[in-house]
Structure 1
Amino acid sequence: MNGLTLPAWLSGSANKALAAPILIIMMLAMMILPLPAFALDIFFSFNIALSIIVLLTSLYTVKPLDFMVFPTVLLVSTMLRLSLNVASTRVVLTEGHTGPDAAGKVIEAFGHFLIGGNYTVGIVVFIILTIINFVVVTKGAGRIAEVGARFALDAMPGKQMAIDADLNAGLIGEQEARSRRTEVAQEAEFYGAMDGASKYVRGDAVAGILVTVINIFGGLIVGMVQHDLAFDSAIKNYTLLAIGDGLVAQIPSLIISTAAGVVVSRVASEQDIGGQLINQLFAKPEVLYITGAIIGGLGIIPGMPHIAFLLLGGALGGGAYLMKKRKAKIAEAPPVEQEVAPVAAPEMEEATWQDIMPVDTLGLEVGYRLIPLVDKGQSGELLRRIKGIRKKFAQEVGFLSPPVHIRDNLELKPSAYRIALKGVEVGSGEAYVGQFLAINPGMAQGALPGTPTTDPAFGLPATWIDAGMREQAQAMGYTVVDAGTVIATHLNHLITTHAAELLGRQEVQQLLDHLAKESPKLVEDLVPKVVSLSVLQKVLQNLLAEGVHIRDMRTIIETLSEYGPVTQDPNELTAQVRIALGRAIVQQIFPTSNELSVITLDSRLERILMQALQTGGPEGAGIEPGLADNIAAQTERAAQQQEQMGLPPVLLVPGPLRPLLARFLRRALPQLRVLSHAELPDSKTIRVTSLVGGQA
């Protein structure tokens, strides 16, 4: 055997996790259960040792966050002292009549050593220690912590921007940026916790005074009434015990209060407190020369303690001489730094494949004033809205869009945002946190004071107004939304518009994997036996490009399985899928009406386009430019009439012409839906509202 093996609950991280609960239970037990005098000696000694450990740890910390648990240590040490006060008070009042050692040797020793047989001196010393702790050390440390917390909170946005600037410039990596952001947040939390924890120490000082007074008067009553002690004996025993008990608790309290002041009053540096004191306080020989001369001059004045002043002045002068001599020797030494500088200089790392970062499919960049909308620490509501947008998109359209990568961009205006698709900007705008966007849907009456603008999603006239104008704007017929809703609506509109580009091969494969959980045979028979994954992707993209949802993947796959062996042309397969999805397409456009109000083509124009289609192929290269312009203009006027009547703009054409006109009119009239006769269900009636080509 190489040695004893500790059980799991006594080693590793298990005992660390149990340390805090055990300590709290022990403190509560000390308040409730009586302790013998020997146990009090052990706990009082541990309390003194703990305070010294805390003080030395605070002196050797380089920055406050190195001792991040210090506020909790303050609370635990304060509760430990109060628990010991309760336990010792019980022993003092019950056993104090037996002599000054009734509460243990530690309390007796502190009482005899500091009081020296004079109770008045002991009381005065105890009060002075309490005043120093309560009025000077604790109050000052609490004030520094309070101011530090305020400055840390005020400086957080600037520090976050500096971190983001370094990240954007490539000076630091994502991991280091995340670590520095966490450190900035922890610094503010630390000073805030120290501000609150200092109140515990101040309360402890007050409690120490009250406990001591209670022990003295309570001990006199108990000793004289219950134990028939004389007044002299009672005052001797109980005063000694009370003052000793108060000093045993107050001295560790003063030490820990000093440690708190050291931690919060230091300025961040790469050195501990000792190194800073030596290197900064005694760094200049001139200061020591002048100080030594002044102290030495005081020593030669008649009536002054000559030996003390002259010795100290000589020591300061000698120290200054040695320091100046050492600096001169260092200055004359050869510059060794120049020899090692080229070796120590960091070299630029070679470029690797890891330097190539993938382009985010969807990206949202915001100015620094919009950071609160996307910051989790500030309960950014835009993050929740974006999650809702993706969930709603998946439920309505039929596939899960890629996640939105959010980052701040210092190159943007403070209130601007930018939406990118595969690294290319597809939309941008401005949103003002704290203000509301009043959008005129066309029926609003009157003008609003504010900043005129345009709704970034749909191009409607709008005005940025103050929060106090919100109800008035709604009463005037405006649609009023906040800054987060503006960005979320714009993002949702762009995601829906570019749904076809968001559907990559990875998304198609994930869609098939999801469908295969319920219908594995259906998916297995289609890909790759009938059509390839790329053909399926192209068909789905064709549907999405014209606003057709792909939720009904079962119908889509069954149609492709039927017509896939006949043709592999994605456009022809798309036409067959559209016919199979006819009812869903019509319901998507006309959700409640059985009568379909549509635009149609003049019969002569249909014949001309059919001839052009046969001549120019499926791309319609045979359409004359003049005829194309005439068709576009008449269709645009007809679509505007449909929208003015509150009807969706729908153009109904023969099946062979539908792909041609859909592609031709998509750019000029993105809101126009082009349907073929074969896509309409038999249960629907058709009402023609406009005719395109009647004058052609």
Structure 2
Amino acid sequence: MKAKDLVIILGIIGIVLMMIIPIPILLIDILLILNISLALTILLVAMNTRETLDFSIFPAILLITTLFRLALSVSTTRSILSNAKAGDVIAAFGNWVGGGEPVVGFIVFLILVIVQFIVITKGSERVAEVAARFTLDAMPGKQMSIDADLNSGLINEQQARERRSKIEREADFYGAMDGASKFVKGDAIASIIIVIINLIGGFIIGMVMHDYSFGESLQIYSILTIGDGLVMQIPALLISTAAGLIVTRSASEGSLPDDITGQLLRYPKMLYIVAGTIAMLGLTPIGILKTWPFAILIAIGAYIMQQTLRKQQVQDDLLTEEQQIEEVRSPESVISLLQVDPIEFEFGYGLIPIADTQQGGDLLDRIIMIRRQCALELGLVVPVIRIRDNIQLKPNEYVIKIKGNVVASSNLLLNHYLAMSPGFEDESIVGIETTEPAFGLPAIWIDESTKERAELSGYTVVDPPSVVATHLTEIIKRHAHELIGRQETKALIENVRENYPALVEELIPNILTVGDIQKVLAKLLKEKISVRDLVTIFEALADHGNYTKDTDVLTEYVRQALSRQITQQYTNGSDVLRVITVGPQLEKKIAESVQQTDSGSYIAMDPLAAQTMYQKINEQVNRQLQAGQQPVILASPTIRLYLRQLLERTLQEIPVLSYSELEPNVEVQSVGVVNV
């Protein structure tokens, strides 16, 4: 057994013996001073404790100190009643606090008891009770959170074990505090009873056994009794305060002094208001001499705190800058440069006002709407778009990048409007000729004074932020198939799993992998087919995935399952669909050009026949465009895929549909036939 363990054991045994064995008066004085020192130490430790578990032994200490005070009360009571003496400490407290007046001392004692019993002890007891209940109620949720972090790999098994242990110890601590607060309550009641016993018993013993007069007996025993009560109540009050501090500590990262100075004095400017209010009180009968010095001190303190906070802010900024420099110098900082953003929008310094909210720019809000629009139209969650200025660009130039590569660029003229003619030119509308970036239409930049006249002439007039938003939206739609990877596909799958778990469990991974589904979704998006109806897509994949793993073939099956969606997309609510049909000779030529391999099928058409096909399809497409209609090519289901592959480079924007992708109630009108 260690020496300190032996001392603690003997000390607790000595506390019990103090209630039985008489103690010399000198030793009583020493123990009373020790009691005050111990209570003050406990209070200071409680004030500087960062977490309640850092002082988890407090409930046991509370019991021991309460027992120690009661044992001292028994010893002092024995000494007062038997010898009419209780040492210099008690006598000093009785005469000093009460000023030699027993009634004053008794009133002070009662006030201390009331403060401890009704205010501090009652409050601490209630807080400990509520904290214990809430801690127990929150335990299952905290345990589940730890298990979730462990399963996701955020923490290891050792960290999870430590967190679980901490939660259990917190529950035990607040439960113990709930019970230990009863010790303080009982101590306060016992102090009142002991004082009454000392007063009545001492008064009787003084007159009967020591032949004191009525006045002498009252004077001697009342002062000793009040001194004894005060000596015991001051340490009790300190420990009760410590108990209140322990159970009322909430979420904090520092000690109580740090929290008070850091939070209560966080806003020095508010102290000027306090100083002004105190100074105004000087105009009342209170007087200037009593209020203005205090107001001046508060104002000076506020000024000093402001300067300190400014210096601290400068030091923090310098420290942050040094840390950033060190991070740049470190070898690990190069790793961050390997990250490629899915979508980037870079612009020259002349276009900063369209992105700076302080200058009235609303580009960020427009990008939020673009992402919402793409989610509704394509069923795709567009990644975060990185926006930055680039001094290497021309002042009015901007570029759009997909995975680090420039896919589009254009120029804007701020304080101008982009005007597109309705098909006929108005000679009175003059401006700077340009090309509309999203669709490549001819347009002109006009100033504010020409805007109203252009709108009256039928021109479509848009502001620069709208030009950027439209261009960015079209680029996202055009490259949506590049933005959906396995990670994005998995997120979409998990979203479907919440409402259709059976479908997802059957499909993945028993039939198809996440990579197979990603390829199908990318092929759909490449032809501008929305993947928002993932349930229908997954149902089609689950139905046909057992027969083939060819993603091209599976995509055709999915398109057929989405026939209603595709029909509505190209008919725009009409019952008539005007199409360019593929003649039987061309269909036969394409079917004969299909080559089958182990890795899949591809088309290898004779170059001369392919060139002839391109020319004739171009003629039909141009005729449709001149008539103001959307060109749509219609082919049989067996060759649609291969015709799409042939037209992918030259006529990528022209949709190619098959008969199986159209609803029966739609009237198909052929406006042209392509043959070779």
TM-score, with normalisation over the residues of structure 2? Answer: 0.57
Q: 1:577 to 1:57 in 2, by over 3 A?
A: closer
Deviation at 1:423, TM superposition (A): 0.1
User: Residue 528 of structure 1 aligns with which residue?
Assistant: 509
Give yes or no for the alignment of 1:474 onto 2:474: no
Q: 1:53 to 1:554 in 2, by over 3 A?
A: closer
SS of the equivalent of 1:509 reads helix
| RMSD of equivalent CA atoms | 3.5
Q: 1:563 to 1:61 in 2, by over 3 A?
A: closer
SS of the equivalent of 1:387 reads helix
CA–CA separation in structure 2 for the residues paired with 1:398 and 1:60: 54
CA–CA separation in structure 2 for the residues paired with 1:357 and 1:43: 65
SS of the equivalent of 1:656 reads coil
Any conservation in 1 of the 2:276–2:295 contact (CA below 8 Å)?
Answer: no
The equivalences for 1:648-687 within 5 A come to 648-687=630-669
1:458-478 deviation digits (Å, cap 9, x = unpaired) = 111111111221111112222
Deviation at 1:609, TM superposition (A): 2.1
CA–CA separation in structure 1 for the residues paired with 2:321 and 2:652: 45
Pick one of 605, 628, 636 that aligns with 2:618: 636
Question: Number of residue pairs matched?
Answer: 424
1:160-201 deviation digits (Å, cap 9, x = unpaired) = xxxxxxxxxxxx99x859999xxxxxxxxxxxxxxxxxxxxx
Q: 1:389 to 1:519 in 2, by over 3 A?
A: same
Pick one of 391, 414, 438 that aligns with 1:410: 391
Pick one of 601, 613, 631 that aligns with 1:618: 601
Deviation at 1:676, TM superposition (A): 1.0
The equivalences for 1:154-193 within 5 A come to none
1:571-598 deviation digits (Å, cap 9, x = unpaired) = 0100111111111111111122112111
Please say which of residues 453-462 and 603-612 is displaced more in the overlay: 603-612
The equivalences for 1:310-329 within 5 A come to none
Give yes or no for the alignment of 1:508 onto 2:489: yes
User: Residue 15 of structure 1 aligns with which residue?
Assistant: 264
Pick one of 249, 268, 292 that aligns with 1:44: 292
CA–CA separation in structure 1 for the residues paired with 2:538 and 2:617: 34
CA–CA separation in structure 2 for the residues paired with 1:679 and 1:355: 46
Q: 1:619 to 1:15 in 2, by over 3 A?
A: same
CA–CA separation in structure 2 for the residues paired with 1:178 and 1:644: 62
Deviation at 1:348, TM superposition (A): 5.4
Pick one of 389, 394, 398 that aligns with 2:375: 394
Deviation at 1:515, TM superposition (A): 1.2
Deviation at 1:673, TM superposition (A): 0.8
CA–CA separation in structure 2 for the residues paired with 1:447 and 1:569: 59
CA–CA separation in structure 1 for the residues paired with 2:532 and 2:417: 35
Q: 1:358 to 1:447 in 2, by over 3 A?
A: farther
Any conservation in 2 of the 1:598–1:650 contact (CA below 8 Å)?
Answer: yes
Any conservation in 1 of the 2:527–2:655 contact (CA below 8 Å)?
Answer: yes
User: Residue 588 of structure 1 aligns with which residue?
Assistant: 569
Give yes or no for the alignment of 1:546 onto 2:527: yes
1:280-318 deviation digits (Å, cap 9, x = unpaired) = xxxxxxxxxxxxxxxxxxxxxxxxxxxxxxxxxxxxxxx
Q: 1:541 to 1:355 in 2, by over 3 A?
A: closer
1:490-518 deviation digits (Å, cap 9, x = unpaired) = 10000000010011111111111111121
Any conservation in 2 of the 1:417–1:430 contact (CA below 8 Å)?
Answer: yes
CA–CA separation in structure 2 for the residues paired with 1:618 and 1:570: 11
SS of the equivalent of 2:538 reads helix
CA–CA separation in structure 2 for the residues paired with 1:24 and 1:57: 15
Deviation at 1:56, TM superposition (A): 7.7
Give yes or no for the alignment of 1:420 onto 2:424: no
Any conservation in 1 of the 2:419–2:443 contact (CA below 8 Å)?
Answer: yes
Q: 1:400 to 1:444 in 2, by over 3 A?
A: farther
Any conservation in 1 of the 2:268–2:306 contact (CA below 8 Å)?
Answer: no
Give yes or no for the alignment of 1:433 onto 2:414: yes
CA–CA separation in structure 1 for the residues paired with 2:532 and 2:573: 20
Any conservation in 1 of the 2:278–2:295 contact (CA below 8 Å)?
Answer: no
Q: 1:681 to 1:51 in 2, by over 3 A?
A: closer
SS of the equivalent of 1:363 reads strand
Deviation at 1:650, TM superposition (A): 0.9
User: Residue 434 of structure 2 aligns with which residue?
Assistant: 453
Alignment-mate amino acid for residue 339 of structure 2: P
Q: 1:399 to 1:19 in 2, by over 3 A?
A: same
CA–CA separation in structure 2 for the residues paired with 1:633 and 1:475: 40
1:425-454 deviation digits (Å, cap 9, x = unpaired) = 000111122211112353443363322111
Please say which of residues 556-565 and 2-11 is displaced more in the overlay: 2-11
Q: 1:478 to 1:653 in 2, by over 3 A?
A: same
Q: 1:656 to 1:360 in 2, by over 3 A?
A: same
User: Residue 302 of structure 1 aligns with which residue?
Assistant: none
Deviation at 1:374, TM superposition (A): 1.3
Deviation at 1:520, TM superposition (A): 1.6
Any conservation in 1 of the 2:327–2:333 contact (CA below 8 Å)?
Answer: no
SS of the equivalent of 1:356 reads helix
CA–CA separation in structure 1 for the residues paired with 2:264 and 2:312: 26
Deviation at 1:642, TM superposition (A): 1.7
CA–CA separation in structure 1 for the residues paired with 2:451 and 2:324: 41
Q: 1:547 to 1:33 in 2, by over 3 A?
A: same
SS of the equivalent of 1:380 reads coil
CA–CA separation in structure 2 for the residues paired with 1:574 and 1:177: 54
Pick one of 265, 284, 302 that aligns with 1:35: 284
User: Residue 375 of structure 1 aligns with which residue?
Assistant: 356
CA–CA separation in structure 2 for the residues paired with 1:463 and 1:605: 42
Q: Percent identity?
A: 34
Any conservation in 2 of the 1:446–1:476 contact (CA below 8 Å)?
Answer: no
User: Residue 344 of structure 2 aligns with which residue?
Assistant: 363
User: Residue 7 of structure 2 aligns with which residue?
Assistant: none
Q: Structure 1, unaligned stretches of length 5 or more?
A: 69-171, 181-344
CA–CA separation in structure 2 for the residues paired with 1:177 and 1:472: 57
Deviation at 1:362, TM superposition (A): 0.2
Deviation at 1:660, TM superposition (A): 0.8
TM-score, with normalisation over the residues of structure 1? Answer: 0.56
Deviation at 1:61, TM superposition (A): 10
User: Residue 549 of structure 2 aligns with which residue?
Assistant: 568
CA–CA separation in structure 2 for the residues paired with 1:661 and 1:347: 52
